[in-house]
């Protein structure tokens, strides 16, 4: 039996990529497509943007959309995702969260809800990025204290949070491997006379412009050499395929909070 998928934010950039990916998926089908109550996309076929006929009309009714569904995939905004997560818990529907920008209270509530439903939550669903996270851990542990860590990320002009959730996760992985925390050692901006670099710093640089899908580089700069680990996304299809893979992972689970490292068996 096919896994029934609900897409939140179905007319947005990631929503469209997910619907297109589902059109070619085996054993997964589009069950419902959600949008805000004021969206001009309401009433349209979910595949109109790509010349597809899905037979699924974009709607705003969350509870109706979740009835009979297996998994909701959400790449929206934190407030909307929290609303969707509460509804998923009521209906016993699994949840894949690609949304970023949550505060600590919201993260704690999602963890609470994951005691009732299976959930995958990751700032980046790309398989390549999650392999890169593993490489960052290995590099930081191996190179150690003699290498300065800097993280550079670039995204399209429409992205609303900075640094990206992916960049922050990369920083967290590096910090943990080095026995540090971002709370203590992250530097998010530099301007003017800053003085010499604190060797414990983990620096972030952010670029916003054009239609850049997502570029991330973690730089380990030592004396006489530097190591750069880079991932560049040229299409949102990579995130969509990763999200569908995460949804399949949830099919065998009743509850619990997971991330893409779990999905890919990288722990």
Residues taking part in catalysis: 155, 159
Phi, psi of 240 (to 5 degrees): -65, -45
From the number of C-beta atoms within 10 Å of its C-beta (0-12, 13-18, 19+), residue 162 rates as middle
> Do 41 and 64 contact (CB within 8 A), yes or no?
no
Residues contacting residue 185 through CB under 8 Å, at least 6 positions apart: 175, 198, 200, 201, 202
Each as own residue / partner, the long-range contacts of residues 172-175 (CB below 8 Å, 24 or more positions apart, any chain) are 173/133, 173/136, 173/137, 173/140, 174/136, 174/137, 174/140, 174/149, 174/202, 174/218, 175/202
Each as own residue / partner, the long-range contacts of residues 168-171 (CB below 8 Å, 24 or more positions apart, any chain) are 168/123, 168/204, 169/122, 169/123, 169/124, 169/133, 170/132, 170/133, 170/136, 170/216, 170/218, 171/202, 171/204
Q: What angle do CA 33, 265, 247 make, to 5 degrees?
A: 10
């Amino acid at each position: 039996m096919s896994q029934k998928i609900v897409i939140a934010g179905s007319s947005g950039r990631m929503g469209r990529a997910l619907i297109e990916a589902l059109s070619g998926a085996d054993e997964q089908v589009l069950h419902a497509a959600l949008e805000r109550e004021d969206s001009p996309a309401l009433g349209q076929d979910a595949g109109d943007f790509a010349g597809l006929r899905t037979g699924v009309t974009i709607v705003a009714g969350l509870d109706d959309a979740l009835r009979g569904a297996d998994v909701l995939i959400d790449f929206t905004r934190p407030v909307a995702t929290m609303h969707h997560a509460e509804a998923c818990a009521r209906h016993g529907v699994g949840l894949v969260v690609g949304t970023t920008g949550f505060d600590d209270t919201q993260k704690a509530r999602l963890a609470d809800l994951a005691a009732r439903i299976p959930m995958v939550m990751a700032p980046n669903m790309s398989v390549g990025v999650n392999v890169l996270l593993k490489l960052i851990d290995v590099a930081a542990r191996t190179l150690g204290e003699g290498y300065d860590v800097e993280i550079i990320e670039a995204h399209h002009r429409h992205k609303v949070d900075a640094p990206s959730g992916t960049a922050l996760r990369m920083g967290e992985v590096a910090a943990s491997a080095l026995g540090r925390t971002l709370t203590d050692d992250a530097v998010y901006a530099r301007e003017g006379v800053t003085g010499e670099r604190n060797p414990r710093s983990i620096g972030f640089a952010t670029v916003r412009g054009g239609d850049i899908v997502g570029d991330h580089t973690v730089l380990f700069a030592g004396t006489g050499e530097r190591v750069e680990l880079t991932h560049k996304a040229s299409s949102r299809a990579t995130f969509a395929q990763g999200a569908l893979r995460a949804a399949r992972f949830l099919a065998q689970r009743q509850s619990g909070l997971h991330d893409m490292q779990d999905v890919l068996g990288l722990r």
